[in-house]
Amino acid sequence: LLQQEELGNALDADRFVLHYQPKIDLNSERILGVEAFLRWQHPERGLVPAQQFINLAEESGLIVRLGEMALRQACIQIQALERAGFGELRISVNLSSRQVTDPNFLDMFRRVVTETGVKPEQLELELPSDLLNEEPDVVHPLMTALHDIGVYLILDNFGAGNCSLSAMQRLPLHAVKIDQVFIRDIPYNATATDVTAAVIALAHKLHLAVIAEGVETPQQLSFLRANGCAQGQGNLFSYPLDEDALIGFLVRQQ
């Protein structure tokens, strides 16, 4: 089992990298940006996906350091891509509740944005839906401050967690990301298609953009297009890629 001490040592030794999954405009099929996923380069286990250590990082509190490192790396990467001539892409960074409710989160965020010089408009934050169940007196001012900095706020895994619709419509969000459990069963499962269509309609009523994740088939893509979902990502377009493979993907797109 992965241990807290091992995770701490790996942080000290700089063993973490980001992989990037392209986010696509579903109508033009052009790339809009990338979502960053943390990976642990483990000497014995190879490349370990975030799913296998994010909980440990949260429970131990190491997520605060790990999260700052990931944010900084993402900001640096998006500017490197722009300098390399790939135009203005956006980058999405995943956050966990433990990280965001840390009293120093906002100061850390402002510091990383300033130090790296990233344009806030290019930065997207993916907030877990359970964040909306945290103390409103903490979450509301925090999200308002992030919104005012100019970053794009996405509610991640929408429909899969438990998130209050009343909280959702009061908070300064820009977009919701429909969880892949719904996308996976399109078009054969009537519940999945109905729920997806309803979520897209609900989001649009609330003036929110919609992103579909886990898009794997052309049928799913057609369904999403027909129902007005403008953005998506998934293995149909690309797996999460390391930096070099991402550059290859971007070159092929040009």
Nearer to ligand G, 116 or 170 (CB): 116
Q: Are 212 and 231 in contact (CB under 8 A)?
A: yes
Distance between CA atoms of residues 207 and 234, nearest Å: 24
Nearer to Mn ion, 94 or 122 (CB): 94
Nearer to Mn ion, 8 or 161 (CB): 161
- Least CB distance from residue 179 to ligand G, whole Å? 7
Q: Are 20 and 243 in contact (CB under 8 A)?
A: yes
Q: Are 80 and 91 in contact (CB under 8 A)?
A: no
28, 44, 46, 51: which one contacts ligand G (CB under 6 A)? 51
Residue 126 in the binding site for Mn ion (CB under 5 A): yes
240, 241, 246, 250: which one contacts ligand G (CB under 6 A)? 240
Size of the site for ligand G (CB under 6 A): 23
Nearer to ligand G, 108 or 170 (CB): 108
Query: How many other CB atoms sit within 10 Å of the CB of residue 15?
Result: 16
Given CA atoms 168, 171, 136, 213 in this order, what sign does their dihedral have? positive
Residue 38 in the binding site for ligand G (CB under 6 A): yes
Coil vs helix vs strand at 19:
strand
Q: Is 140 left (phi over 0), alpha (psi -120 to 50) or beta?
A: alpha
Residue 70 in the binding site for ligand G (CB under 6 A): yes
What is the footprint of ligand G within residues 166-205 (CB under 6 A)?
180
Distance between CA atoms of residues 15 and 17, nearest Å: 7
Q: Which of the choices Mn ion, ligand G, none does residue 50 contact, using the CB cut-off of 5 to 8 A by kind? A: ligand G
Q: Which of the choices ligand G, Mn ion, none does residue 232 contact, using the CB cut-off of 5 to 8 A by kind? A: none
Distance between CA atoms of residues 129 and 127, nearest Å: 6
Distance between CA atoms of residues 129 and 31, nearest Å: 25
Nearer to ligand G, 197 or 215 (CB): 215
Residue of closest CB approach to Mn ion: 126
- Least CB distance from residue 237 to Mn ion, whole Å? 15
Distance between CA atoms of residues 108 and 206, nearest Å: 30
Binding part of the chain for ligand G, among 116-124, 129-137, 163-171, 234-242 by CB under 6 A, reads 234-242
What separation in angstroms does the CA of 126 have from each of 2, 9, 31?
A: 25, 27, 18
Given CA atoms 70, 76, 78, 84 in this order, what sign does their dihedral have? negative
Binding part of the chain for ligand G, among 91-99, 113-121, 130-138, 140-148 by CB under 6 A, reads 91-99
68, 124, 156, 179: which one contacts Mn ion (CB under 5 A)? 156
Residues that bind ligand G (CB under 6 A): 21, 37-38, 49-51, 54, 67, 70, 94-96, 99, 126, 156-157, 180, 213-214, 216, 234-235, 240
